[in-house]
């Protein structure tokens, strides 16, 4: 069949063959599109790669609402490492988290 030709359906009617439809996609590609890049870094690798202490990294993720990670299983991506490298942003989040925690403990609003 040449470009632009129609395929025949079961009932014999012509069905145009789309030219811009991508071919089959590997299951790994589909998972990456749906879930993002693979989790390939542990908490120590991420904190070391970002040049921050494990404690600071833990406070940063917790301040953003993520659960505390106590294992070195690969639970982070290169994007997480990039986020953690944002030093000034991290300091700001940690300061605000500390202020919020102090206010909550003292009953301030």
Q: How many folded domains does the chain comprise?
A: 1
Q: Torsion-angle region of residue 67: left (phi > 0), alpha (psi -120 to 50) or beta?
A: beta
Whether 18 maps to a domain, the answer reads no
Whether 64 maps to a domain, the answer reads yes
Q: What is the pLDDT of residues 36-67, one digit of tens each?
A: 888 999 999 999 999 989 998 898 888 888 88
Q: What is the pLDDT of residues 74-108, one digit of tens each?
A: 999 999 999 888 866 777 777 777 776 666 677 76
For the chain, the 3-state helix, strand and coil shares in percent, each to the nearest 5, are: 50, 5, 45
Assess contact for 77 and 39: CB atoms under 8 A: yes
This prediction has a pTM of 0.55
Domain that holds residue 70: 43-106
Whether 52 maps to a domain, the answer reads yes
């Amino acid at each position: 069949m040449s470009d632009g030709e129609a395929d025949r359906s079961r009932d014999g009617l012509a069905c145009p063959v789309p030219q811009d439809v991508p071919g089959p996609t590997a299951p790994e590609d589909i998972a990456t599109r749906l879930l993002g890049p693979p989790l390939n870094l542990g908490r120590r690798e991420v904190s070391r790669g970002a040049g921050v202490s494990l404690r600071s990294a833990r406070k940063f993720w917790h301040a953003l609402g993520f659960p505390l990670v106590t294992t070195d299983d690969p639970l982070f991506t290169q994007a997480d490492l990039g986020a953690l490298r944002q030093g000034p942003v991290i300091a700001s989040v940690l300061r605000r988290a500390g202020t919020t925690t102090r206010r909550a403990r003292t009953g301030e609003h």
